[in-house]
Chains A and B, each alone.
Chain A
Amino acid sequence: MKNKGLGFKLALYIVTATVVIVGVILWINYYNSKKVLVKNMEEQADDLARATVNKIEGELETVSKIPENEAKVFENFNISKEQLNRYIQMIVTENPEIFGSCVAFEPYQYFPDSLYYAPYCYRKDDSIVCENLGNDSYQYFYWDWYQIPAVLNKPVWSEPYFDEGGGNILMCTYSVPFYRKNSNQKELHGIVTVDISLEWLDKLVSSIKLFETGYAYLISSNGSIVTHPNDKFEMHQTIFSIAEEYDKPHLREVGREMLAGKSGFTEYSSVYTNKDGYMYYYPLSVTGWSLGVIFPKDELFADLYKLNRSLLLIGIIGIVALLTLIIIISKRITKPLSRLARITQDIGGGDFEVNLPATVSNDEIGQLTRSIDHMQVELKQYMQSLKATTAAKERIESELKIAHDIQQGIIPKIFPPFPEREDVDLYAILDPARDVGGDLYDFFFIDDYKLCFAIGDVSGKGVPASLFMAITRTLLRAKATKGAKVENIVKSMNMELCQGNENSMFVTFFIGIIDLQSGVVEYCNAGHNYPYLLRSDCRMEILEKTHGTPLGIFEDIDYQSDSIRLEKRDNLVLYTDGVPEAMDIDDKAYGDERLKELLKKHCRKSPDQITNEMLYDVKHYVADAQQSDDITILSLTYFLKK
């Protein structure tokens, strides 16, 4: 994701959001339509079931009127055997909805010598057959269709049964008892029945067309399946046994409701079609039966599904179109961006001559292009000025390097300086804080036994100081001639340095001339740090004398001088303020005390050892802090001439 382009991200975010929105719309539409559809269907189912029930009840009522009328006839008239047979035959012929009809008499009631008399006419193939039902193997008065109305003294619709020995089909029978008055007592005389075949009921119920796989079924008052599209259920199953077999507790609840004569609407998954759907049930008041109507969900919602499918299709097409559009738009947006990215990279690589695409628009891309263009121009100028600056800096640096070499070149650098002499040893170091510094030292022989040595520190640092230092050193060499006294050398140097010294530069200066024959040092200190004298027994003396101000301040100054005698192996240490004033990282100065301690520790060492120990200790002390001032050290050991 991190590495994907802007176009991809844009497309992803927008399409994701759109998919969610379309999905929500589809779902809401589906949910609402379904609600409406289910409500409509419930009403429709109610109407349909009611109409069906009315139709069935109408049929059954018509059927039930037949035996009721017959019963009235037989209660009041004695009819001959032939007439009875003809009558029954006529009833069956006239009423195509009935399968058969029977008039069954109580034992010995029609014929005093006959136990059974029950003339029965029924349809067989395309004709009507009449026979007497009663015989020893079909004792009709023990059958339910006879016994129940006889006991209850009222007409009864039987449960469906297989009339073996009678019609030999699945049937239901409506039995109406009829009576004769015998000494003011009403006595049962017989039962008039009409049979309807379940096949006929089946046809009636299955004429209810509910979508493709919807169906209706009837259950009797004890829950037996009267009609069902699955013939196997008829007679053999009750609604409760089906609930048991298929583990549908809900169906058991529905069965109880149906038997209680209630109507209702419920979700139901059919065991017959294995489809989810709805069931509507409604009681048949005439028979105490109940009608169940099953609507399959998929067919019911087929239109809804279809509508949703087309909506989904439209949604997908819309999203694809949107995606294409986004890709095209983002390509158009990101193409100049990618180009600008490449250009910026080129510019970053140092190519400032890149041609930027012409900008016409004033949008963000246009602004960016102009910004980059502006940046390129600025960078170009900056690089040019940087080049110039760098060149100038390099020039100055190389000049400084040369100046450094020159400066280092004008001070004596060869050590030991007088390898042929046994009476003196000397060592000196100049470590400038920058390329060039304002410190100086020098030493040279004025004559065979007189060695002149000097150290100085120009105020400030860098190029001005180094120039002043070079002048000082040149003046020293010019003035320190044979026989000249130190105070006079200093005085004349001072006068020269004061000439045209507008910037009040000055140099602290210490000069000594040692007579190597006697060890006497004549010295003049013009405002310089006091030198240390380390005696051969490690006693330390400080030449604590100032003979005048530093050089370059006032022209008319008279300097004094002093002298001191060096004994064998005595060591004189001269230094500039870069030593005691060297700062560590916390701006704490190295200090005179530390310097004294160090010198005492190394008092018997040679000049180069002492010098290097001092420099090392100072550098060690300064550590990571920047060297703040030039450091110059000069050490001289006197050996008495033999």
Chain B
Amino acid sequence: MEIADIKKEKYTIVEIAGRLDTTNYQELETNLQEKLDAGARNLILDCTNLEYVSSSGLRVFLMFLKKIKGLNGKFFVCSMQDEIKEIFKISGFTSIFDIYENRDQAEAAM
């Protein structure tokens, strides 16, 4: 898994690529926690190149969704591949996350 940041004025876009599973979910957890600690409040998770996400990965998504909401921030997810969409759909996450088809839409919503 690779994580890349694009910092904008009011939010940060986090690009996640590869597989997010039990072996590396802590990496993402640490990365996002550091952003929150540094004062970031608005995040867009760009999943264009995210190939797989396990339940451990979903837990990280969920954890930061809750944390950011608790801080009155915005946590958007965009550009999910069909497989990821399916996982979100089955687990019922579609209803609790703010999901956008592409990054432009997510940025517009920010």
Contacts and interface: CB of A to CB of B under 8 A. Distances in A.
| Chief secondary structure at chain A's binding surface | loop
B4 interface: no
A590 to B, nearest CB: 13
B54 A553 contact: no
Q: Which of B25, B54, B55, B92 has most A Cβ within 10 Å? A: B55
Interface in A544-561: 546-550, 553-554
A581 interface: yes
A528 B22 CA distance: 18
A504 interface: yes
B19 to A, nearest CB: 7
B63 A503 contact: yes
B92 A550 contact: yes
A459 B92 CA distance: 14
Contacts of A581: 52, 54
A527 B56 contact: no
Contacts, number: 64
A554 B59 CA distance: 13
A548 B89 CA distance: 10
Contact of B90 (A458, A527, A629): A527
Contacts of A227: none
Interface in A218-246: none
A606 interface: no
A152 B63 CA distance: 147
B96 interface: yes
B16 to A, nearest CB: 17
A527 B91 contact: yes
Given A506-B62, A628-B21, A457 B55 contact: yes
A460 B59 contact: yes
Interface string A502-534: 011110100000000000000000111110000
A553 B96 contact: yes
Given A459-B55, A460-B56, A628-B22, A526 B92 contact: yes
Interface string A605-629: 0000000000000000000000011
B59 A506 contact: yes
A460 B55 CA distance: 6
B85 to A, nearest CB: 13
Given A587-B19, A628-B21, A527 B59 contact: no
A458 B59 CA distance: 10
Contact of A459 (B19, B56, B95, B96): B56
B7 interface: no
B95 to A, nearest CB: 7
Given A460-B59, A503-B63, A587-B19, A529 B90 contact: yes
B61 to A, nearest CB: 9
Interface in B45-66: 52, 54-56, 58-59, 62-63, 66
A569 interface: no
A553 to B, nearest CB: 6
Given A460-B59, A503-B63, A504-B59, A554 B92 contact: no
Given A546-B91, A549-B92, A577 B62 contact: no
Nearest to B63: A504
Contacts of A460: 22, 25, 55-56, 59
Interface residues of B, number: 20
Contacts of B54: 577, 581, 629
A199 B41 CA distance: 140
A262 B9 CA distance: 121
Contacts of A189: none
B93 interface: yes
A461 interface: yes
Contacts of B21: 628
Contacts of B92: 526-527, 546-550
A71 B90 CA distance: 159
A457 B91 CA distance: 11
Nearest to A553: B62
Contacts of A461: 22, 56
Contacts of A526: 92
A109 to B, nearest CB: 146
Contacts of B59: 459-460, 503-506
Contacts of A458: 55
Contacts of B96: 549, 553-554
Given A460-B55, A628-B21, A629-B54, A546 B89 contact: yes
Contacts of B56: 459-461
B91 A550 contact: yes
A547 B92 CA distance: 7
A427 B54 CA distance: 26
A24 B22 CA distance: 78
Interface string B55-90: 110110011001000000000000000000000011
Given A460-B59, A504-B66, A527 B22 contact: no
Interface in A446-462: 457-461
30 contacts: A457-B55, A458-B55, A459-B55, A459-B56, A459-B58, A460-B22, A460-B55, A461-B22, A504-B63, A504-B66, A506-B55, A506-B62, A508-B90, A508-B91, A527-B91, A527-B92, A527-B93, A529-B90, A546-B89, A549-B91, A549-B92, A553-B62, A553-B66, A554-B96, A577-B55, A581-B52, A581-B54, A587-B19, A628-B21, A628-B22
Interface of A: 457-461, 503-506, 508, 526-530, 546-550, 553-554, 577, 581, 587, 589, 628-629
Interface of B: 19, 21-22, 25, 52, 54-56, 58-59, 62-63, 66, 89-93, 95-96
Question: Which 4 A-B residue pairings sit nearest by Cβ, starting from the closest?
Answer: A527-B91, A504-B63, A459-B59, A459-B55
